[in-house]
A = this chain, B = another copy of it.
């Protein structure tokens, strides 16, 4: 059973394929008699017609495909896989609402190939957790020619949109909630070293008070220096490790960068980020796709912090 095409509908309805196309696409510049319109629509439905996106893409030079490229952690933790689920799912949902379909790909190894992006003629791309090195190697030699939104990285290139949690606001808020400025910071080893630097800088803490997690032993050793002190942990899954090894002894505030505050015990001070903030992000990308000259107000979008 071959798939129904416009041609089949045209034949069945006794009209031309152009007419069918006009009707199916609801082309405003054409005036179609109500009679033929309902007839064609009915037949299309009877034959279970769906448009062939390969053909349409070929013609329109637009695929309606958006890529989400997830860069695997260079230094994997047990919870590495969990970190970007919420973001991924939210982006999928929002893009879906706008009629796009998502191609999901993990980027692994040192020199990834971005051929997929061009082979599939993606309309736009989200990069999650990208590091400068792996990304730069390729981005340099071919400007994508499509909107690229970089989430959770600090890629030094003005053509990319950057989306980040509002670290500055978070640090301030954390101090308020803790009742005093935190004295230490535990964070993950970021894929993107530059981002890690900026976070450290923003925290205003001395390097000796900042711990990049590697394993439990190291974490525990670090925390022992700060018993009964107030501290800050970036990422709730990492915070879970802290809570697990330390119990309730320390009073910490957690920046829930993975949008999953639920996984933490109730007593912990949590700072969350608005998943809703991805809506304007996706809208901006859509604008860029619809109209290449779309002026996006801001290349930096910060996810706002809530408690």
Chain B hits for A110, CB < 8 A:
none
Residue-wise, chain A 249-290 has the 8 Å CB interface mask toward B (1 for contact) of 000000000001011010000000000000000000000000
Contact B48 A52 (CB under 8 A): no
Contact B81 A50 (CB under 8 A): no
Q: Which of B3, B50, B101 contacts A103 (CB 8 A)?
A: B101
Chain B hits for A52, CB < 8 A:
58, 119, 121
Q: Complex formed: what's the CA distance from A262 to B104 in Å?
A: 25
Q: Which of B1, B78, B101, B115 contacts A105 (CB 8 A)?
A: B101
Contact B265 A115 (CB under 8 A): no
Contact B142 A79 (CB under 8 A): no
Query: A137 within 8 Å of B by Cβ?
Result: no
Contact B50 A54 (CB under 8 A): no
Contact A50 B115 (CB under 8 A): yes
Closest residue of chain B to A96 (Cβ to Cβ) is B105
Total chain A interface residues with beta-carbon distance under 8 A = 46
Chain B hits for A1, CB < 8 A:
145
Query: A11 within 8 Å of B by Cβ?
Result: no
Q: Complex formed: what's the CA distance from A50 to B52 in Å?
A: 22
Q: Complex formed: what's the CA distance from A96 to B145 in Å?
A: 24
Residue-wise, chain A 69-113 has the 8 Å CB interface mask toward B (1 for contact) of 000000000110110011011001100100001111110100000
Residue-wise, chain A 184-212 has the 8 Å CB interface mask toward B (1 for contact) of 00000000000000000000000000000
Q: In the complex, how many angstroms separate the beta carbon of A115 from the nearest chain B beta carbon? A: 5
Q: Complex formed: what's the CA distance from A258 to B129 in Å?
A: 23
Chain B hits for A89, CB < 8 A:
81, 106
Contact A50 B262 (CB under 8 A): no
Query: A159 within 8 Å of B by Cβ?
Result: no
Query: A168 within 8 Å of B by Cβ?
Result: no
Q: Which of B63, B78, B240 contacts A54 (CB 8 A)?
A: B63
Contact B145 A116 (CB under 8 A): no
Q: Complex formed: what's the CA distance from A82 to B102 in Å?
A: 19
Contact A118 B3 (CB under 8 A): yes
Q: Complex formed: what's the CA distance from A78 to B236 in Å?
A: 14
Chain B hits for A51, CB < 8 A:
119
Query: A299 within 8 Å of B by Cβ?
Result: no
Contact A55 B58 (CB under 8 A): yes
Contact A106 B93 (CB under 8 A): yes
Q: Which of B58, B101, B115, B240 contacts A120 (CB 8 A)?
A: B101
Query: A57 within 8 Å of B by Cβ?
Result: yes
List which A25-79 residues lie within 8 A (CB) of chain B.
48, 50-55, 57-58, 63, 68, 78-79
